Structure 1
Amino acid sequence: MTGCQRQPVEEVVEGIRKQAVDEADAPTDGGSLRSVAWSEIPDELFKDGAIQTWGEALAQSAQYYRRLPPEQTFEFGSYKVSAARMHQATQELAELARSGDLVGLEQVLKSRYRLYRSIGGNSKGNVLVTGYYEPLLHGSTKPSARYHYPLYRLPPDLVNCADRKKGCRMERGKPAPYLARAQIDAPYLTKPEPQKTPPPPPAKNAKNAKNVKKESKTTKKTARSKPAGPLANRGLELVWVDNVIDAFFLHIQGSGRVQMDDGRLIRVGYAGTNGRSYKAIGQILIDEGKIPHEEMTMPRLRQWLMDHPKEQQRIFFANASYVFFREMAVDAVGNINVPLTKDRSIATDHRLFPKGAPGILYTTLPIMGADGKSVTGWRPETRFIVNQDTGGAIRGPGRVDLFFGFEENIEYQAGVMKQNGSKFYFIAPIPEKR
């Protein structure tokens, strides 16, 4: 939640991400990776009992590289690899991983692939690892007292500004900033106090009595009319959900699932944003002294919002960025347009690191209690991963977001992740012999 602040990485406390990345301020130094020896990697990496899932993730990246022009290049620091070579490499590693041959995989990697470590947020390899997931919401195709908050489709009047590729709308032939969250959401987050209807004046005759009665009905009808925002009544409502907090977190995650009141389970995914700047609401509460920095996690933030319903509008509206959604036929996809793989896909700053590339992540993961919600300890973990996603909260060489997937209570496991002192590496194929 605080990850999109432009601040030192050590101060970032949450990694719930999925906002549009601004291309205009992309780093250009190309020095975010350093070549290192395989001896840096612990032997535990090659004892992965679920290595087949890495193979599945690699197969998705292979499809991504296959769609690209063969000559397109990917940078591992100063080392460049063509899309054709990356396609070949990910196919080879996918087959080895799917076979479960860890001995053969280790031999191939150490003899035919190079290892590059991220310089991290402090240029010493220190990386902050956070987690994201697919949330579950409850919704309906029709608004009601329960299902009162809309998830909107991408509006047709949302266009890209030519200068910075941000969302705009045309006003009198000129681009203007698109609607902010407060403008879009005000009718749905504002709950006006019930208005007391003043007593009617005493009726002097039957005619006046009828007029008073008619006037009273009109007043009641007006009071009961539903609020409508600037996007309402345009056929843009994808689905109506029953929880504003869940909806806000969906805006941050970028994709999720909605259990419909008719029994269907649908998938919704990121379609675009309004182009407004993202502001991390977790950082607001830290700055205001509402939640201590060291206690800030997504579960802690959620509980605070639940305990302070009158503050929700102010906190939510502080983040002007707004996400639009679309219904999806497949599972959550990343920025290379392939399905993400639970526990294997990561999100990084795509301006710095090669999209789709295989890698290795060293971090610590929570040990969850029997309730699935409480943390009983932490365990070190070294695992193979694939770089298949990005987000505005994931900035710089010292940030990684690990995809935890979709399952019951997974938000508690992903939400407590803010593991500094982690490291991550990329794996690049050596040049082919001619």
Structure 2
Amino acid sequence: MIRVLAAAALGLFMAGMAHSQDTTYKILDFKDLDGWERDDHAAALQVFQNTCTDLDEPDWASLCAVAQNITSAKSFFELFFRPVLIEDGNDALFTGYFEPELDGALAPDERFRFPLYSMPSEARENTVWLSRREIETTDAMHGRGLEIAWVDDPVELFFLQVQGSGRIRLPNGNHVRIGYAGANGHPYRSIGVELIRRGVYSPHQVSAQVIKNWVRRNPVDGLELLRHNPSYVFFRTVDRVSPEDGPLGAMNRSVTAMRSLAVDPAFTPLGAPIWLEKDGEDPLRRLMIAQDTGSAIKGAQRADIFFGTGDDAGRAAGRLKDPGRMLVLLPIQRAFALLPESEQ
């Protein structure tokens, strides 16, 4: 999955939501939400407050103002919102994402040999520029001062590009946060699918960790495998966000571990509270906030849970691929406006 944390328009709460013959809307009561009574609504309200000030439509702006001086978070959501089940005919799927953290340095040495590049002018000017192979094996990037940092692991660098943002942990303990700056315009090709095509693994065996282990066991063939994906991501430093806060999401605000969701804004308005009922091995019942998007997140019942920063978060996120359902909490009038006239 390529995650591009690009800013999204926030004025799409009605016109931008999908309205097709396959899309259905059903308003439920809060008593219909499994686990609603047991959640930490105050934690969700705090995350909602982080981005609701950016919602400039009158009903959202009014609710945001009320949210700043609320005494009971649970009552706030129950009084001003209604849970709406939006379905488009596709099965629900919930996955996870995280912010990678790599060991690196601001200057190269014997250990830190693999550069992260800022975006060259040629890549900005051309729809399609050099491939990953050409960027890594020619002198096109050398001597131009485009290096942001150097890391010690080309495999982790590859997956950092897949995620689109992350942190670099420097030898002195400080951190540099980096974000997505652009790409070379080539289509993304899955190296997991390529390993399956070669007969190395069957579909149920492939995961990010399995791919990483294979590349490390086969360093020469492994680098060639990575170059099977011609897409290449360039970065920028993110200075206005503390490295201790979460990375920026699509609303250009920090996302919060286990409270922020990446959604499809065609169905789910950015900034809206979401009641998540994720099933599977470790069921999750939690009020979350739609604060991010992703190129692989498409559909009314599709979402990506942000697990946090670092290896532990990455392992937890990588294991997640579960069914369930999610309901969008919409302002009352907005919720009923979605229903057919016969049901209003």
TM band (smaller chain)? 0.7 to 0.9
Partner of residue 265 from structure 2, selected from 350, 363, 370: 350
Q: Distance in 2 between matches of 1:387 and 1:48?
A: 17
Relative to structure 1, the CA distance from residue 388 to residue 302 in structure 2 (aligned partners, 3 Å threshold; closer, same or farther) is same
Which AA in structure 2 matches 1:30?
H
How do 1:9-408 and structure 2 match up within 5 A? 17-18=3-4, 30-31=19-20, 32=23, 34-38=25-29, 41-49=32-40, 51-65=41-55, 70=56, 83-93=57-67, 96=70, 99=71, 101=72, 105=74, 107-119=75-87, 123=89, 126-159=91-124, 168-169=125-126, 177-186=128-137, 229-329=139-239, 330=241, 331-364=246-279, 378-407=281-310
Q: Where does the alignment leave 5 or more consecutive residues of structure 1 unmatched?
A: 2-15, 71-82, 160-167, 170-175, 188-228, 366-377
TM-score (norm 1): 0.67
Q: Distance in 1 between matches of 2:185 and 2:169?
A: 29
TM-score (norm 2): 0.83
Deviation sequence 1:315-345 (CA, Å, 0-9, x none):
2222222211111131300111011011011
Q: Distance in 2 between matches of 1:381 and 1:30?
A: 29
Confirm or deny: 8 A CA contact 2:30 2:78 kept in the other structure.
Answer: no
Confirm or deny: 8 A CA contact 1:118 1:423 kept in the other structure.
Answer: no
Deviation sequence 1:192-245 (CA, Å, 0-9, x none):
xxxxxxxxxxxxxxxxxxxxxxxxxxxxxxxxxxxxx31221111000111001
Relative to structure 1, the CA distance from residue 28 to residue 346 in structure 2 (aligned partners, 3 Å threshold; closer, same or farther) is closer
Q: Following TM superposition, by how much is the alpha carbon of 1:58 offset from its aligned partner in structure 2, in angstroms?
A: 0.5
Confirm or deny: 8 A CA contact 1:20 1:272 kept in the other structure.
Answer: no
Q: How many pairs are equivalent?
A: 321
Q: Following TM superposition, by how much is the alpha carbon of 1:398 offset from its aligned partner in structure 2, in angstroms?
A: 4.1
Q: Following TM superposition, by how much is the alpha carbon of 1:93 offset from its aligned partner in structure 2, in angstroms?
A: 4.7
Q: Distance in 2 between matches of 1:230 and 1:35?
A: 55
Deviation sequence 1:38-75 (CA, Å, 0-9, x none):
267434122114x333122201221321xxxx4xxxxx
Secondary structure of 1:379's aligned partner: coil
| C-alpha RMSD of matched pairs (Å) | 2.8
Relative to structure 1, the CA distance from residue 109 to residue 57 in structure 2 (aligned partners, 3 Å threshold; closer, same or farther) is closer
Q: Distance in 1 between matches of 2:214 and 2:69?
A: 47
Confirm or deny: 8 A CA contact 2:26 2:86 kept in the other structure.
Answer: no
Q: Following TM superposition, by how much is the alpha carbon of 1:283 offset from its aligned partner in structure 2, in angstroms?
A: 2.0
Which AA in structure 1 matches 2:129?
Y
Which residue does the alignment assign to 2:320? 417
Relative to structure 1, the CA distance from residue 407 to residue 28 in structure 2 (aligned partners, 3 Å threshold; closer, same or farther) is closer
Which of 1 and 2 has greater Rg? 1
Deviation sequence 1:165-196 (CA, Å, 0-9, x none):
xxx42xxxxxx522222211235xxxxxxxxx
Q: Distance in 2 between matches of 1:95 and 1:359?
A: 21
Q: Which runs of 4+ in 1 moved over 6 A?
A: none
Which AA in structure 2 matches 1:119?
E
Secondary structure of 1:114's aligned partner: strand
Secondary structure of 2:284's aligned partner: strand
Which AA in structure 1 matches 2:60?
M
Relative to structure 1, the CA distance from residue 386 to residue 39 in structure 2 (aligned partners, 3 Å threshold; closer, same or farther) is closer
Secondary structure of 1:291's aligned partner: coil
Q: Percent identity?
A: 29
Confirm or deny: 8 A CA contact 2:6 2:249 kept in the other structure.
Answer: no
Q: Following TM superposition, by how much is the alpha carbon of 1:408 offset from its aligned partner in structure 2, in angstroms?
A: 5.2
Deviation sequence 1:105-158 (CA, Å, 0-9, x none):
2x54444322222325xx16x211111111111111112221111111122333
